[in-house]
Structure 1
Amino acid sequence: MLAAVLLAVSLAAAATAVTLLVTRGGEGSDTQAGREEVMAQTEQFMLRMGTYGPDLLDDSGAMPDYRSGVKEVITSKFAASFDKEAGAAEQLVAQAGVSRVPDVFATGVSSLDEDSARTLVAGSFTDTYTVKDKTVPQEPIPFRIEVSLVKIDGEWLVDDFSPVTAGGAVPESGDPVPAPSDTTSTEGTP
């Protein structure tokens, strides 16, 4: 009788352990999928926001494809702020022939729940300028940025971003359009 009770307890414990492993494994893969999703959206945001140049200008000196590409990955709240600042990039491109290309080195997740996330992204921006019909490349400008995302209707969207460190060439919160750096300094907004 004692052997039967021990066998039943052992089987129940084994079943519980298997259930916990399966449940945790499922949550782990859901969590990993969520992490990968927010990191991918963060990278898309940086690539879209940090890529512009004369080829995006229309006849009026605006960059409608640039604006719409960025707006696809940001919240409407953030889009209002972005619209106010996008003109600065358009003006630099139209007047100085500025081009910018980002290179994202790494992204990571600092926090994640079902409807909000914070990510960290590091990389560099490479600018070129047109001076007397000659393209002048600049040294890459490093950036480290914390990005806030929210999940709206099942889609992760960027809601804000801010520099991780005070120094270096990173945009400040509320300045969503990276502007070219001064050629003599690495401080300021990208």
Structure 2
Amino acid sequence: MFRLVLAAVLLAVTLAATATAVTLFATRGDQAGEIQAGREDVMAQTSQFILRSFSYGPDLLTDDNTMPDYRERVAEIITPKFKADFDKSAGAAEQLVAQAGVERVPDVFATGVSSLDEDSARTLVAGSFTDTYTSQGKTVPQEPIPFRIEVTLVKIDGEWLVDDFNPVSADGAAPTEGTP
């Protein structure tokens, strides 16, 4: 009788463990897929931010020496809070383009996610900027400038938007002088 009861208890424990394992596996698979999709979304938005905000040149300049298309394409992917800061720095880019014919083209090598939750994320992006400028009617190319930038994103109304960014030096600290 004891063996029969023991066999029944072991069978019940085995069935319960199997059911729990199957449930956990199915649930975790969905969560892992959602997490990976979120990671891919923030990495794509980070790349878009770098490509849009650091790509400019004389072809974007209007008669009043502004770049409204440049400002608009960046504004589409940043938060309203960050837009105020961006508008200030966009003036410097417009001035460089108008005065020296500067053209900047970024190349993104890699993007990674350092933290991610439901409504905020931090990413790290590495690449290089290639600048050219006009001197005496000739285009002068410059050596590519490597960069590493930490980007902060927030989710607003279901869309990831860039909320801030900071250059990162090789030792992990933000540089004290210069800009990317």
User: What CA distance in whole angstroms lies between the structure 2 residues aligned with 1:115 and 1:165?
Assistant: 27
Moved more, 49-58 or 21-30: 21-30
Partner of 2:22: 18
Partner of 2:147: 143
Q: Distance in 1 between matches of 2:10 and 2:89?
A: 71
For 2:12 and 2:32, the matched residues in 1 are separated by: 30
TM-score (normalised: structure 1):
0.87
Unaligned ranges ≥5, structure 1? 173-186
Structure 2 counterpart of 1:65, from 58, 63, 69: 69
Mapped contact 1:145–1:162 kept (Cα < 8 A): yes
Could you say what secondary structure the match of 1:62 adopts?
A: coil
Normalized per residue, which structure has more helix? 2
Aligned equivalents of 2:179, 2:8: Cα separation in 1: 73
Separation (CA, whole Å) in 2 of partners of 1:51 and 1:85? 13
Task: Please give the alpha-carbon distance, in whole angstroms, between the structure 2 residues aligned to 1:11 and 1:142.
Answer: 57
Conservation of the 8 A alpha-carbon contact between 1:124 and 1:141: yes
1:81 aligns with 2:71: no
C-alpha distance in 1 between matches for 2:38 and 2:116: 8
Partner of 2:38: 34
Larger radius of gyration: 2
Match for residue 127 of structure 2?
A: 123
User: After TM superposition, what 4+ stretches of structure 1 lie above 6 angstroms from structure 2?
Assistant: none
Q: Distance in 2 between matches of 1:132 and 1:111?
A: 48
- 8 A contact 2:168–2:175 mirrored in 1: no
Conserved? CA contact 1:98–1:129, under 8 Å = yes
Cα-to-partner distance string for 1:104-154 (whole Å, 9 max, x where unaligned)? 000000000000000000000000011111111000000001000000000
Contact 2:123 2:152 in 1 (8 A): yes
The alpha-carbon deviation at position 4 of structure 1 amounts to 2.8
Report the RMSD for the aligned CA atoms in angstroms.
Answer: 1.7
Gaps of 5+ in 2: none
